[in-house]
Amino acid sequence: MFPPLLACAAWACAAAWAAPPPAPDPGLLSWLEDGRAPMVEWWSVDADAKAEAALQALPGRRMLRKRLAQLMGGGSIEGIELRGERLFVLKRSRRDLQPKLFVRDRDAEFPHLALDPNAISRDGTWALDWWSPSLDGALLAYGMTDLRSGESVVRVRDVDSALDLPDRIPRAPQAGAAWAADRTGFFYARLPKPGEVPDAELAYHRRVYFHRLGTDPLNDHLVFGAGRAKEDWPEVRMSPDGHYLLVTVRQGSRRTELYVSDLRAKTTDFATVVAGVDARFEGRFGGDTLYILTDEDAPAGLVAATDFRKPFRVLGAKIKARAWRRPNWREVVAEGPFTLADFEVAGSRLVVHAVERGVSRLSVYDLEGTALREIALPGPGSVQDLAGRPDSDVFYALQESFFQPTALYRCSSEASAASVVEALLSAADLAHFELRREAFLSRDGTAVGLMLAFKKGLRKDRNAPTIVLASGGPLPRPAPVYAPHLLAWFEKGGLLAVPLTDRALDIEDAGRWLVAKEYTRPERLAVAAVGRGALAAGVAAVRAPEVFRAAVLLSPLTDLLGLERMAPGARWVRDFDLPEIPGSAARLAELSPLHRVEQGVPYPAFLVSAGSWDQEVHPAHSRKLAARLQACSSSGRPVLLRVRARAGSRRGRPLDAVLDELADQYGFLMGQLGMP
């Protein structure tokens, strides 16, 4: 794998690491942060090979993977966009390694294929990262990501001919595109090229540019972001009439700023809608009005509006002012008992997606905020996506649940009924399974909702193999999702528990509640999560090793004290206290799984998985936690590290690679929890 000299150096370093001090300082593991270093590459390859051998040897793994393939064979519906009279739908059918993008014209009987990533990359090394149709749906900007390196390239396609234009723009992960009304070009966001900033900052300094079709992207005009903090993450959205460009700047996951440019002025000067406020703001246009969903002084959320036909004033100066008291702002949908998650403008109505005890509700309001009706969707379930436009009452929704395959619904803001456009089929009889909603009190007195999913006939005999799934990302979000691979767990008598929280304390207390209620016992209890959710799951597992028998953490955050060193971690520092603030280092260590690990503690079995690159969470977080647990745990239970060679996250990965990962994860859990 290495030349002899490098191999000897790697073995020498590995030998030194194999005999760590009794209680290794997590700071000493900083050498694992440089994934390009030969020593780290050797260590990672060796750890992955050992984990692969252990997982491949699990009894029944071949049959488990076969069943997972059957369950995942029903395909997926992953996203929708409405542009003019065209509905774009991203979906994967039974035989597709990667999802395809289809377009439905209003009068057409069947959709037609607009984009097939499988044809662009037949070996699955490139995946579709994002896609943005023009305002009339005639052209499509989309990003393809090289799964070997993480490099993302923007392409442009004529939708009707399904042929690409010659335009190519590198360094644009998750770029999005806001098309000009005349289709001559689009606004997009990209990262700097090597040499423009220090190498350690290449994952930052994202800026917004305008690309004119047929021109060299090196000459693209910078329109937003110059001089801003390197951690800011701008995103672009065009108003449906092409008059306004909205830039949403994300500063971590819990704070946003909004800026608007009136393109009719033939400039890209931006007016500040709101800035400098510790709250989230999400905007949607309806004509000259910008509707804004915010949680400022409203934890459950409200919708406000500002009209650009009135004299515009700089907003956001009064940090504590409620949104509708800002100049030119008015309240439209007041804060209520349910948490607002999303909304869309459909005709002369607002369609509002709220979450009640983890379940989605769709309600329709007029533009003055009067509640008119609810949309009748099957429940309890989750609305995963909405698509509408201000000049039509028709809108579309994707809805699903644990035991309800994803379905695409056509709705009207003038009626309560919803009709199915298309729906997935399941390879299992879903009538055999059950979803139950419970609640418990955490130790600090907080009431926490809990969703339980299982096969009917489950008995409270302390014997159910159970996964506590910690959800990730900012709240609110609905809990029941359609993940057909979970059926392999339910079919074997497994229980899934989803706490409606993002606190590690509540994840731990959910486990204790399940034991106290005699659903399970610690020997048959595991915790699992992906990405940001794995932060809470990891803390719960290392803080309460007596509660959990096993943990599966996929691309986890584990070292909050080292966030700024591991790109793109500096983007998330604002979600936590800055380390230089007095006392915050100790607090961050309390929230950081890596720093909670102590020598000689009998920790649960761990399966930690990371991609060789990741646009959200640096893989060093996984390497460092695995190394520290291997050095410190006294339980004798395995601590395995898988390093996925062709991915940062699961999105866009070829189906066969996803199935291998799922077989590893379920096989590991079933083996650790004593399932046949």
pLDDT in tens, 410-451: 999 999 999 999 999 998 999 999 999 999 999 999 999 999
The confidence band for 197, taking pLDDT boundaries of 50, 70 and 90, is: very high
Question: In the 3-class helix/strand/coil scheme, how is 255-283 assigned residue by residue?
Answer: CEEEEEEEHHHCCCCCEEEECCCCCCEEE
The confidence band for 20, taking pLDDT boundaries of 50, 70 and 90, is: very low
Strand partners, 527: 468, 551
Please, what sign has the CA dihedral across residues 630, 633, 636, 640?
negative
Question: Once rounded to an integer, what is the mean pLDDT over residues 382-396?
Answer: 95
CA pair distance 601, 96, nearest whole angstrom: 45
Q: Which pLDDT value is given to residue 316?
A: 36
The confidence band for 613, taking pLDDT boundaries of 50, 70 and 90, is: confident
Q: Which pLDDT value is given to residue 652?
A: 66
CA pair distance 470, 554, nearest whole angstrom: 11
Asked whether 78 and 92 are in contact (CB, 8 A), the reply is: yes
**Closest to 621 measured CA to CA, from 48, 203, 200, 33:** 33
pLDDT in tens, 633-676: 999 999 999 998 766 554 567 888 899 999 999 999 999 999 98
The CA-atom distances, in angstroms, between 445 and each of 10, 585, 624, 632 are 51, 26, 34, 33
Question: Once rounded to an integer, what is the mean pLDDT over residues 341-362?
Answer: 96
The confidence band for 318, taking pLDDT boundaries of 50, 70 and 90, is: very low
The confidence band for 319, taking pLDDT boundaries of 50, 70 and 90, is: very low
**Closest to 591 measured CA to CA, from 611, 610, 573, 613:** 573
**Side-chain-facing half-sphere of 69: CA atoms under 13 Å:** 14
- Say yes or no to pLDDT of 382 above 70: yes
Domain assignment present for residue 97? The answer is: no
Domain assignment present for residue 198? The answer is: no
- Say yes or no to pLDDT of 262 above 80: yes
Say yes or no: 396 and 438 in one domain: no
Q: Which pLDDT value is given to residue 311?
A: 47
- Say yes or no to pLDDT of 473 above 70: no
Q: Which pLDDT value is given to residue 314?
A: 40
Q: How far is CA 29 from the centre of its chain?
A: 28
Say yes or no: 512 and 406 in one domain: no
Question: Once rounded to an integer, what is the mean pLDDT over residues 83-99?
Answer: 90
The domain that holds 650 is classified in CATH as 3.40.50.1820
- Say yes or no to pLDDT of 168 above 50: yes
Asked whether 498 and 469 are in contact (CB, 8 A), the reply is: yes
The confidence band for 12, taking pLDDT boundaries of 50, 70 and 90, is: very low
Domain assignment present for residue 56? The answer is: no
Q: Which pLDDT value is given to residue 312?
A: 43
Say yes or no: 403 and 436 in one domain: no
More confident residue, 409 or 612: 409
Look up residue 482 and give its amino acid: Y
**Closest to 479 measured CA to CA, from 533, 518, 410:** 533
Asked whether 448 and 439 are in contact (CB, 8 A), the reply is: yes
Q: Which two tokens stand for residue 172?
A: 């644009």
Say yes or no: 467 and 391 in one domain: no
Q: Which pLDDT value is given to residue 107?
A: 74
Say yes or no: 503 and 633 in one domain: yes
With a pLDDT cut of 90, the percent of the chain lying above it is 76
Which of 71-75, 135-139, 246-250 bottoms out in mean pLDDT, i.e. has the lowest?
71-75
- Helix, strand, coil shares, percent, the chain, to 5: 25, 35, 40
CA pair distance 572, 250, nearest whole angstrom: 10
| Structural domain count, the chain | 2
Task: Give me the domain span that covers residue 594.
Answer: 429-474+484-672
Say yes or no: 378 and 419 in one domain: yes
pLDDT in tens, 505-560: 999 999 999 999 999 999 999 999 998 889 999 999 999 999 999 999 999 999 99
Say yes or no: 438 and 418 in one domain: no
Asked whether 399 and 407 are in contact (CB, 8 A), the reply is: yes
Say yes or no: 399 and 514 in one domain: no
Domain assignment present for residue 575? The answer is: yes
- Mean pLDDT over each residue of the chain, to the nearest integer: 89
Q: Which pLDDT value is given to residue 451?
A: 96
Residue 216: how many other CB atoms lie within 10 Å: 10
Asked whether 591 and 560 are in contact (CB, 8 A), the reply is: yes
Say yes or no: 610 and 518 in one domain: yes
- Say yes or no to pLDDT of 317 above 70: no
DSSP letter at 197 equals B
pTM recorded for the entire structure: 0.91
Look up residue 83 and give its amino acid: R
Say yes or no: 442 and 563 in one domain: yes
Say yes or no: 445 and 552 in one domain: yes
Domain assignment present for residue 498? The answer is: yes
Cis peptide before 26 (omega within 30 of 0): no
Domain assignment present for residue 661? The answer is: yes
Helix extents (H) in 414-560: 486-491, 504-516, 533-543
CA pair distance 549, 527, nearest whole angstrom: 8
Domain assignment present for residue 517? The answer is: yes
Say yes or no: 450 and 409 in one domain: no
Domain assignment present for residue 441? The answer is: yes
